[in-house]
Amino acid sequence: MIPAFAGLGAPYWRADVRGALFGLTRGTTRAHVARAALESLAFQSRDLVEAMASDAGARVTALQVDGGAVANDLLMQWQADVLGIPVRRPRVIETTALGAGLLAGLATGFWSSHRELDAARTIEREFRPKESRAWREREYARWKQAVATLLG
């Protein structure tokens, strides 16, 4: 699945591209479509991580994640496998809300320093890659081929 429902964003920047499902058969179920949607999130993240690493001239060695989707263990393991690096999920997955609360506490004197805030930002689980490099590159090549098909 390429979820380009409102265009394909970074690093492709094609507002005219629309979403697509590839490889549908009579045996395709809702579960297959849901899994494809989760996998597409991980592939889109790899696209961005690779673009950032290229721009920065440095390799990304771990990914810190947050937001509602990161509660899905399948997605987080797939992300680690697709990237080939550890994916770290915080104890509090809504990091924006946590940050606002921490800064409010700092501003009102509840905490006296930024150092005290570090204790609130703990890692709940780290997902480590389980798949081989060959698997990772083969799966990513399939993603890139699907994107290339949409890009024309």
| CATH number for the domain that contains residue 84 | 3.30.420.40
Question: Considering its fold, how many domains does the chain have in total?
Answer: 1
* Secondary structure element (H or E) that encloses residue 124, with its range: strand 123-127
Q: Which residues of 71-81 are buried (b: 16+ CB within 10 A; e: fewer)?
A: eeeebbbbbbb
Q: Which amino acid is at 14?
A: R
Domain that holds residue 97: 58-146
Task: Tell me whether residue 25 is in a domain.
Answer: no
Q: What are phi and psi of 13, to 5 degrees?
A: 55, 60
Give the pLDDT confidence of 31-56 residue by residue, as tens digits.
999 999 999 999 999 999 999 999 99
Global confidence as pTM: 0.87
Task: Tell me whether residue 109 is in a domain.
Answer: yes
Least confident of 100-109, 110-119, 126-135: 110-119
How many Å apart are CA 83 and CA 46, to the nearest integer? 6
Task: Tell me whether residue 82 is in a domain.
Answer: yes
Q: Is the pLDDT of residue 61 over 80?
A: yes
Task: Tell me whether residue 31 is in a domain.
Answer: no
Q: Is the pLDDT of residue 98 over 90?
A: no
Return the structure tokens found at 9: 């964003």
According to DSSP, residue 90 is labeled E
